Amino acid sequence: MPLPVPVPPEGVDPAWLPDEAFRPIGTRRTLVRGSGPLVDTVHGEVARACERFGGRVERDAAPGPFDLVLELTGPQELGDEGFTCRREDGRTTVGAYGGAGLLYGLLHVVRLGEAAFHGERQREYHEPALALRMLDHWDNVAVHPVMGQVERGYAGGSLFWADGRARGELERVRAYGRLLAACGINAVAVNNVNVHETEAHLLTDRIGEVAAIAGALRPYGVRTHLSVTFAAPVVLGGLERADPLDAGVREWWAETTARVYEAVPDFGGYVVKADSEGQPGPFAYGRSHADGANMLAAALDPHGGTVHWRAFVYNHHQDWRDRTTDRARAAYDHFVPLDGEFAPNAVLQVKHGPMDFQVREPVSPLIGAMPDTRLAVELQATQEYTGQQRHVCWLGPMWSEVLRFRLEEGACAGELARGGLVAVSNVGDDPFWTGHPLAQANLYTFGRLAWQPDADPHELLDEWLGLTFAPVPEGLCDLLSGSWRTYEKYTAPLGVGFMVQPGHHYGPSVDGYEYSPWGTYHFADRDGIGVDRSVAGGTGYAGQYAKPWAEMYESPQTCPDELLLFFHHVPYGHVLKSGKTVIQHIYDTHFEGVAEVEEAVETWASLAGQVEPGRHARVAERYAEQLRSAREWRDQINSYFFRKSGVPDESGRTIF
């Protein structure tokens, strides 16, 4: 019997896997050849499509008059996840060495649609550039009094947890695994990196709940990972210390990890946030991050697991009066001296920028500075600082810029991410998965870029639109493709970052973090704005880059305009490469950004008859909030800098 296909429960959006996407397969004759759990998944998908659309599927039959053949035939060099695809003599054939490759091959045919069954197609070879393509869910088992069910979550509650325990009904989790496979994601961490006491117990007496989730994701090739607290031997094991060089501590981790694998044989490994923002870590025992990571790596190594050790470590008790301390420098300063000291199965997980997922910041120099360490690049799909899924902000172009950015010796960030690509998830139990239906594009694009970091993001957007909407309404692509730059225009200018309400980070507050201990300053005064991070007179952060970037960022004359205020404090009258002054750029972009949102609102309204009513209504509701918020951003930012600088808008527009 074919494996049942986990379709979303009634009332839940099918996202980029509507039944119609399988029509080209479901109307044809298909042969599935091979054995194994993931081959069973492939057979189940084809069988359901044929049942719906009238086609026929056979399992392990002799070659015959089939339109589509899906078979385990190699080549082995493509690994378990790679596949080939060709069309000749009226037949489309997908071949793979492993079951995961066959599943990805089937989903490739789904993306091609009818085009997969017409003309001739030379044999194509497909394999992921990165072996690990992971989502980190910042989900709390118990609702946290400050951060709620999902920390930085904007799509309802958790998919995995409710009322302090695992959700009993896993059908939607299975449907989620199916969506992830369809964009190439193969790993999920199911709990928050800020591990509270309840979540800590998932490692030991509550591992059975993790095992149930892993069982729901496994049929689609998605491995389960767990965030753990470094202090687990103390919190859970009754030990007095969590010193990574203590023999008793190492033994506790080895025994505990062995029990995890007894419950979840394909367990992926641990995610750890240590010595950061109050989380415990090896510094308490005079040990290094490498000492801490390697202890966990040793416990995981016999089972084939990996520890992802986050590099988000900085002083969050800074004195705003001290301009020598620079949060942007912190990750590089902490970790570069440790290059070569991490175990082979320890991955250092590095945020793509040196700060905290701002709408614009430079690529972290750490990514190019540790050639002897496996690095994973971390992105943020949940839009903490980019509109919190109340604003349309498709992040594909930003992520592509990051992954294509060439660091030391000409290697780009996507190539240096040997430990994988990771994103903070933007999914919850909302009927549209991501709260804002158009925010699904970020999740899909992340998965596809993790598979192929040098892919054209706009082509991936076209894929998502073609799968999700049938037909794609005219103008919808334009709404999304320019939305990141629109958001940038009406929020923080020229790379300065933040300027958000403290705590929840939604909406404008120019000085919200200016005198805080978090190290997120803009230093605006009557004469100018920006942070001097030059070597000559500032914090020296620009010198963390190799040439030519260090030289480019060092001078205001050569620094790219979009990052000018990240690297330099300049007068309001400083002339940008566009020919505008900094102050006029601030005024103009904030008015332009609001005008672009107003136009987007009108465009979306015009699509009312072309988009499913529930989806259209939800997006219209979010656009109304985006327009309100964009106007608030415009008016607060422009008024603040007019009052600081005393320089009027040369166009004479209303500034309060």
Give the pLDDT confidence of 336-349 residue by residue, as tens digits: 999 999 999 999 99
Same domain, 407 and 500: no
DSSP string, 12-64: S--TT--GGGGHHHHTSEEEEE--SHHHHHHHHHHHHHHHHHS-EEEESPPS-
Which of 384, 430, 554, 596 is catalytic? The answer is 384
How do residues 185-222 score in pLDDT, each as one tens digit?
A: 999 999 999 999 999 999 999 999 999 999 999 999 99
What is the identity of the amino acid at 7?
Answer: V
Is the CB of residue 509 less than 8 Å from the CB of residue 632? no
What is the identity of the amino acid at 344?
Answer: P
Same domain, 121 and 146: no
Same domain, 96 and 142: no
The Cα 366–Cα 423 span in angstroms is: 18
51 is an active site residue: no
Backbone angles phi, psi at 441, to 5 degrees: -60, -35
Where residue 1 falls among pLDDT bands split at 50, 70, 90? Answer: low
Same domain, 83 and 165: no
Long-range contacts of 54-58 (CB under 8 A, 24+ apart): 54/26, 54/27, 55/25, 55/26, 55/27, 55/28, 55/29, 55/30, 56/29, 56/30, 57/2, 57/29, 57/30, 57/31, 57/32, 58/29, 58/30, 58/31, 58/32
Which of 332, 412, 398 shows the shortest CA–CA distance to 369?
Answer: 332
In a domain, 475, yes or no: no
Where residue 7 falls among pLDDT bands split at 50, 70, 90? Answer: confident
Same domain, 232 and 302: yes
Specify the residue for token string 């603040």.
640
pLDDT above 90: residue 74: no
In a domain, 652, yes or no: no
In a domain, 552, yes or no: no
The Cα 343–Cα 25 span in angstroms is: 45
Which of 524, 464, 641, 547 shows the shortest CA–CA distance to 17?
Answer: 464
Same domain, 443 and 574: no
In a domain, 586, yes or no: yes
pLDDT reported for residue 3: 73
Last residue of a domain, one of 92, 126, 160: 126
Evaluated on CA atoms 566, 567, 568, 574, the torsion sign reads negative
Q: Give the distance, in angstroms, between the CA of residue 182 and the centroid of all CA atoms in the same chain.
A: 16
In a domain, 536, yes or no: no
Domain count, the chain: 3
Peptide bond into 128 cis (omega under 30): no
124 is an active site residue: no
The CATH number linked to 625 is 3.90.1330.10
Which of 225, 25, 198 shows the shortest CA–CA distance to 116?
Answer: 25
Is the CB of residue 150 less than 8 Å from the CB of residue 138? yes
How many degrees, rounded to 5, is the angle at CA 188 between CA 446 and CA 94? Answer: 65
Q: What is the mean pLDDT of the chain?
A: 97
The CATH number linked to 374 is 3.20.20.80
pLDDT above 80: residue 281: yes
How do residues 96-144 score in pLDDT, each as one tens digit?
A: 999 999 999 999 999 999 999 999 999 999 999 999 999 999 999 999 9
The CATH number linked to 95 is 3.30.379.10
Same domain, 305 and 235: yes
429 is an active site residue: no
pLDDT above 90: residue 257: yes
Same domain, 303 and 398: yes
Same domain, 370 and 508: no
Beta bridge partners of 57: 30
What is the identity of the amino acid at 540?
Answer: G
Where residue 552 falls among pLDDT bands split at 50, 70, 90? Answer: very high
Which of 60, 88, 124, 277 is catalytic? The answer is 277
In a domain, 1, yes or no: no
Specify the residue for token string 């049938």.
470
pLDDT reported for residue 62: 86
Same domain, 107 and 172: no
Q: Of 67-76, 283-292, 501-510, 565-574, which gets the smallest average pLDDT?
A: 67-76
Which of 356, 378, 554, 596 is catalytic? The answer is 356
Last residue of a domain, one of 80, 109, 126: 126
pLDDT reported for residue 549: 96
Same domain, 615 and 502: yes
Neighbouring C-beta atoms of residue 409, cutoff 10 Å: 9
Backbone angles phi, psi at 540, to 5 degrees: 85, 0
Residue 576 is part of which domain span? 489-531+569-645
How do residues 610-626 score in pLDDT, each as one tens digit?
A: 999 999 999 999 999 99
Same domain, 89 and 172: no
In a domain, 433, yes or no: yes
Last residue of a domain, one of 63, 93, 126: 126
- Whole-model pTM over 0.95: yes
How do residues 489-545 score in pLDDT, each as one tens digit?
A: 999 999 999 999 999 999 999 999 999 999 999 999 999 999 999 999 999 999 999
How do residues 589-598 score in pLDDT, each as one tens digit?
A: 999 999 999 9
In a domain, 232, yes or no: yes
